[in-house]
């Protein structure tokens, strides 16, 4: 027995689910950031951690906007649906890793972040790989429209994330998040033709 064809307006259904997952991720990040205002003596800012929070806020917002590209997808499958939910869920995992429920056993965000560094950078590397697949799902022409810079960018971010998993250098991590955040911001501005 063949499965019934999925209607084109399936995108609306999927957009709602993605919105819920990504909304929870943004909520976690914003609520985590307010801890620094609520408890300035107890919650000490760690610049590398804060940099990745800002990067993730930007990345989630960008991802959410670019998922409008799925509206042109004419053939939906359960596999694509499952992939998109998984992809969005990784953002939620990263948000939870940046702001855990409890930090009683850690001295602060620096101690916590460095102790969970491999998990964080591992999931971050995965995000860049998943983004390649997500962009390809939207069509080969869509993928090619970003030029050679896009796959090179994704590969560089993934490679730098993998290096950060195994190299505990705080200088490297600080340089990575600083360059990554600036590049991500300019990448987005160029995509929206603000800097064209």
- Cβ contact 85:21 at 8 Å: yes
Could you report the per-residue pLDDT of 157-169, keeping only the tens digit for each? Answer: 999 999 999 999 9
Nearest to 11 by CA among 65, 81, 60: 81
Exposure class string for 156-186: b at 16+ Cβ within 10 A, else e = ebbebbeebeeeeeeeebeebbeebbeebee
| H-run or E-run covering 28 | helix 10-38
Assessment of whether the complete model's pTM goes beyond 0.85: yes
For 22, counting Cβ atoms within 10 Å of its Cβ (0-12 exposed, 13-18 middle, 19+ buried), the class is: buried
Segment 19-55, tens digit of pLDDT: 899 999 999 999 999 988 988 888 889 999 999 999 9
Looking at per-residue pLDDT, the higher value among 61 and 39 belongs to: 61
């Amino acid at each position: 027995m063949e499965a019934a064809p999925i209607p084109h307006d399936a995108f609306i259904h999927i957009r709602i689910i993605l919105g819920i997952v990504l909304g929870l991720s943004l909520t976690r990040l914003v609520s985590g950031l307010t801890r620094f205002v609520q408890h300035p003596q107890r919650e000490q800012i760690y610049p590398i951690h804060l940099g990745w929070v800002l990067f993730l806020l930007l990345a989630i917002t960008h991802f959410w906007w670019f998922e409008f590209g799925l509206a042109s997808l004419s053939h939906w499958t359960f596999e694509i649906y499952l992939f998109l939910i998984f992809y969005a869920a990784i953002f939620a995992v990263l948000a939870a890793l940046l702001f855990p429920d409890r930090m009683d056993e850690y001295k602060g965000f620096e101690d916590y972040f460095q102790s969970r560094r491999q998990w964080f950078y591992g999931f971050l590397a995965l995000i860049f790989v998943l983004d390649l697949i997500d962009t390809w799902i939207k069509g080969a022409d869509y993928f090619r429209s970003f030029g050679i810079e896009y796959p090179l960018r994704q590969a560089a971010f993934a490679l730098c994330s993998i290096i950060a998993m195994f190299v505990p250098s705080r200088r490297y991590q600080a340089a990575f998040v600083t360059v990554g955040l600036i590049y991500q911001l300019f990448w987005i501005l160029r995509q929206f033709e603000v800097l064209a």
